[in-house]
Amino acid sequence: MQNFDYQTPTRLIFGEGVVEKLQKVMSAFGKKILLTYGGGSIKKIPAFRNQNSAISNQYSGLSLYDYVRETLKDFEIIELPGIQPNPKYDPSVLEGVRLCKEHKVDVILSVGGGSVLDCSKAIAAGACYDGDPWDLISYKVKAQAALPIVDIITLAATGSEYDCGGVISRTETNDKIGYLDRHLFPAVSFLDPTYTFSVSRKQTAAGIADAMNHTIEQYFVEDATLLNDGFCESMLRSLMANGRKCIENPEDYKARAEMMLACTYGCNGILALGNSESGWPCHSIEHALSAYYDITHGEGLAIITPRWMKHILNERTLPRFVKYGVNVFGIDASLDEWTIANKAIEATYAFFESIGIPMHLREVGIDDSRLDEMAHHIAVNEGLENAYAALTEKDIKEILMASL
Amino acid sequence: MQNFDYQTPTRLIFGEGVVEKLQKVMSAFGKKILLTYGGGSIKKIPAFRNQNSAISNQYSGLSLYDYVRETLKDFEIIELPGIQPNPKYDPSVLEGVRLCKEHKVDVILSVGGGSVLDCSKAIAAGACYDGDPWDLISYKVKAQAALPIVDIITLAATGSEYDCGGVISRTETNDKIGYLDRHLFPAVSFLDPTYTFSVSRKQTAAGIADAMNHTIEQYFVEDATLLNDGFCESMLRSLMANGRKCIENPEDYKARAEMMLACTYGCNGILALGNSESGWPCHSIEHALSAYYDITHGEGLAIITPRWMKHILNERTLPRFVKYGVNVFGIDASLDEWTIANKAIEATYAFFESIGIPMHLREVGIDDSRLDEMAHHIAVNEGLENAYAALTEKDIKEILMASL
């Protein structure tokens, strides 16, 4: 087992109606708030679906956005709307940092999905740094501080609400960088499962695939503990069972809630404490896809994952695939090991396909014209020669080809 | 799924040799330290078993106690030694509070097992309160603050190093109270698995039983999520497999490490987020046993657990026992449900017996002379009429009788 130094200081306030505590929570951080959000879905989501308390009665009928503005009317709010999926360094991060500095913002309130929150984290660090924020994101300079962040999450997927990382894209250089710093844990995350009722089938499926892949990336390692293996297997079984229910009945509270909770564990390390590093190979590959083509992250991961699995299956990795197949998919343990492993990979593919994810790169607008360039970019930048199953540029190219 | 408000701010520094960071960590909290410990095992445990760094070389050969004194020689250290298992309000908590107030202590450094840490938590709260510390422990008054606590844990069992609770005994009233307050999370917990190499077979077994029961208390609930069920089942499988290895080979680092990590999750809520309350019935019963007879907590739990299981097995609880039997003990799922359930309870008993735990109250010095009194005490004080399976005074008496 590896040594580790671990802390997840974020306070999770979870359940229907919990946003009624927002004003009280924000009061602890000061008076000036940068309110970040995306394309405007928060202006449609109802803040309270049921009126079962004084506050939910008082604000009955308001959208989440209107409720936030109303309950925080005694605060000074500066807005940064329009943050896109695969959030962009320019303009969103740069504009957010500028606003924070100009208005001497005390705290960022991020309302939306993982992209809004990831962008908010980069802003939080950039706001406390005198130089170019890219210095921090590219790890040229280590952040010394960050503004506190409170978030209201509206999508179950990335786990950004319970981790200290974010992913930022810089269009002109085709960079999509996963940026981690211990200052970037949200101080408080509000998670109301009803806010995900209106998430589309496509985005729900992408979220399931994202969280499943977070788990798979941590499961396939050399020396996993029995404890972590069981946690990961439970994550995968829960995400598949509840994810399917969310697709079938978008307003199934119990399923949405369990999926939301499972997603929070995806990237904060709890699934892999003491394990060796896996290298997160599917993420490394997918980041290039969405940097070059701006595709939906979860879809890219779902496409890559089974092809990566097939590529790395060999004598050494076989026992992991057998364990995965038996414990996650319930494949008969008495079968031949290679049969179990291949069935497990097929079951992974079949699950993603069954929830409606397009399982070929061509279906998401990626042809073979830039595969060489992407494979080279990944090989040079992502360090996959040190992954659980080492990947050369040739390996990466083959995985991409198989995904077409 | 139930709403929840959750935070575990403790920093875990885990692995062999991590205590070399102690001086740096303590510097953040001030100059005056109350050093709490137990019977003196920390004067025998080597601080560093291997010399693989500058600091471990420099302090080679020192006991953990001597290392702590040496590396913190520039701090003012006030000592509170002699804290007992089932830590006592009088004298330990009272004396600790007195010392903290008299010396204006900045931080408590707890070096030992869960009892030392539990006692330190009560002291930390009492030191910031003007009245009788029992007001806090008995929930008459809510703590408004507590001194920060750093701990070095030397026993894998209670999980106190990653939760905000403690258990304090008051001898004259036969009270043993589980006391929880969010101020009582340790700021930093050092966990070096080699410190548990010298834990006796008896105490290792009691630790396994303690952590297993923490998990079982959270597994048997009405509406567990699939996610939490998998986490709990993984805990139990890991604790049994690694616990057995620790008993067979006390210096098996990997087994000691995994057991130590598993134990930390026992009581901080992560295994039951969103589940309804279970009532922790075995703990409620065992607390009376160790309050009246001062027995080893983990042994008391191991004795009670299978008898409690047998007592509450009925049509309603059957499906939980079936799941437990199949997923934790690998009992053949095609058997009759009652057979699976009974086999699961027998397997629980057999496991505890196999690691050397005395499985009858008589073996730990408890006869039937005070069973009525204890059953009454439990029924009046523990609220088990609201447990997952409601227990009346008569039920409690029957469970105790079956445990003799």
The mean per-residue pLDDT over the stretch A24-46 comes to 96
pLDDT at B127: 98
The mean per-residue pLDDT over the stretch B372-381 comes to 95
Is there a contact between A14 and B7 if contact means CB atoms under 8 Å apart?
no
CB within 8 Å of chain A, chain B residues 252-311: 253-254, 257-258, 261-262, 270, 273-274
Q: Is B5 on the interface with A (CB under 8 A)?
A: yes
Question: Do B190 and B11 contact (CB within 8 A), yes or no?
Answer: no
Q: Is B369 on the interface with A (CB under 8 A)?
A: no
Please give the CATH architecture assigned to the domain spanning A200-403: Up-down Bundle (1.20)
What DSSP letter does each residue of B258-274 carry, written as one string?
A: HHHHHHHTSSSSTTSTT
Q: Is B182 on the interface with A (CB under 8 A)?
A: no
pLDDT at B302: 98
pLDDT at A175: 84
Residues in chain A: 404
CA distance B227 to chain A (A): 5
Question: Do B105 and B120 contact (CB within 8 A), yes or no?
Answer: no
B49: alpha, beta or left, given left = phi > 0 and alpha = psi -120 to 50?
alpha
pLDDT at A173: 86
Which of B335, B309, B320, B153 lies closest to B232, judged by CA?
A: B320
* Average pLDDT over all residues of chain A: 96
Looking at residue A325, its amino acid is G
The mean per-residue pLDDT over the stretch B152-161 comes to 95
Is there a contact between A234 and B226 if contact means CB atoms under 8 Å apart?
yes
Q: Is B1 on the interface with A (CB under 8 A)?
A: yes
Q: Is A13 on the interface with B (CB under 8 A)?
A: yes
pLDDT at A141: 95
The mean per-residue pLDDT over the stretch B263-287 comes to 95
Neighbours of A189 (CB within 10 A): 23
The predicted-structure confidence for A92-101, as pLDDT tens digits, reads as follows 999 999 999 9
Q: For residue A40, name the pLDDT band (cuts at 50, 70, 90).
A: confident
Is there a contact between B226 and A235 if contact means CB atoms under 8 Å apart?
no
The predicted-structure confidence for A163-203, as pLDDT tens digits, reads as follows 999 999 998 888 888 899 999 999 999 999 999 999 999 99
ipTM associated with this complex = 0.96
pLDDT at B261: 98
Is there a contact between A15 and B4 if contact means CB atoms under 8 Å apart?
yes
Which of A264, A271, A115 lies closest to A203, judged by CA?
A: A115
Neighbours of B236 (CB within 10 A): 22
Q: Is the pLDDT of residue B314 over 90?
A: yes
pLDDT at B195: 98
Q: B217 vs B174, B271, B361, CA distance in Å?
A: 23, 10, 20
Chain B residues whose CB is inside 8 A of the A8 CB are 8
Cα–Cα distance measured from residue A242 to residue A254, given in angstroms and rounded to the nearest whole number? 8
In chain A, the residue whose alpha carbon lies closest to the alpha carbon of B162 is A7
Q: Is B58 on the interface with A (CB under 8 A)?
A: no
Chain A residues whose CB is inside 8 A of the B225 CB are 238, 258, 261
The mean per-residue pLDDT over the stretch B391-403 comes to 98
pLDDT at A168: 94
The mean per-residue pLDDT over the stretch B97-110 comes to 98
- Kindly indicate whether the domain formed by B199-403 is annotated with CATH number 3.40.50.10800: no
The SS3 call for residue B289 is helix
Is there a contact between B227 and A235 if contact means CB atoms under 8 Å apart?
yes
The mean per-residue pLDDT over the stretch A131-157 comes to 96
CA distance A58 to chain B (A): 21
Cα–Cα distance measured from residue A271 to residue A225, given in angstroms and rounded to the nearest whole number? 10
pLDDT at B173: 86
Chain A residues whose CB is inside 8 A of the B12 CB are 4-7
Burial profile B276-285: b = 16 or more Cβ within 10 angstroms, e = fewer:
eebbbbbbbb
The class that CATH gives domain B11-195 is: alpha beta
Place of tokens 């101020």: B183
Q: Is the pLDDT of residue A333 over 90?
A: yes
The mean per-residue pLDDT over the stretch B132-160 comes to 96
CA distance A44 to chain B (A): 23
Q: Which helix (H) or strand (E) holds B5?
A: strand B4-14
The mean per-residue pLDDT over the stretch B154-180 comes to 92
CA distance A186 to chain B (A): 12
Closest Cβ opposite residue B14 in set A6, A15, A233: A6
Q: For residue B222, name the pLDDT band (cuts at 50, 70, 90).
A: very high
Is there a contact between A14 and B8 if contact means CB atoms under 8 Å apart?
no
In chain A, the residue whose alpha carbon lies closest to the alpha carbon of B1 is A254
Cα–Cα distance measured from residue B212 to residue B219, given in angstroms and rounded to the nearest whole number? 10
pLDDT at B269: 95
Cα–Cα distance measured from residue B15 to residue B12, given in angstroms and rounded to the nearest whole number? 10
The SS3 call for residue B233 is helix
Q: Is B241 on the interface with A (CB under 8 A)?
A: yes
Is there a contact between B226 and A242 if contact means CB atoms under 8 Å apart?
yes
Is there a contact between B258 and A225 if contact means CB atoms under 8 Å apart?
yes
Chain A residues whose CB is inside 8 A of the B241 CB are 226
Q: For residue A76, name the pLDDT band (cuts at 50, 70, 90).
A: very high
Is there a contact between B12 and A5 if contact means CB atoms under 8 Å apart?
yes
Domain residue ranges of chain B, discontinuous segments joined by +: 11-195, 199-403
Chain B residues whose CB is inside 8 A of the A14 CB are 3-6, 273-274
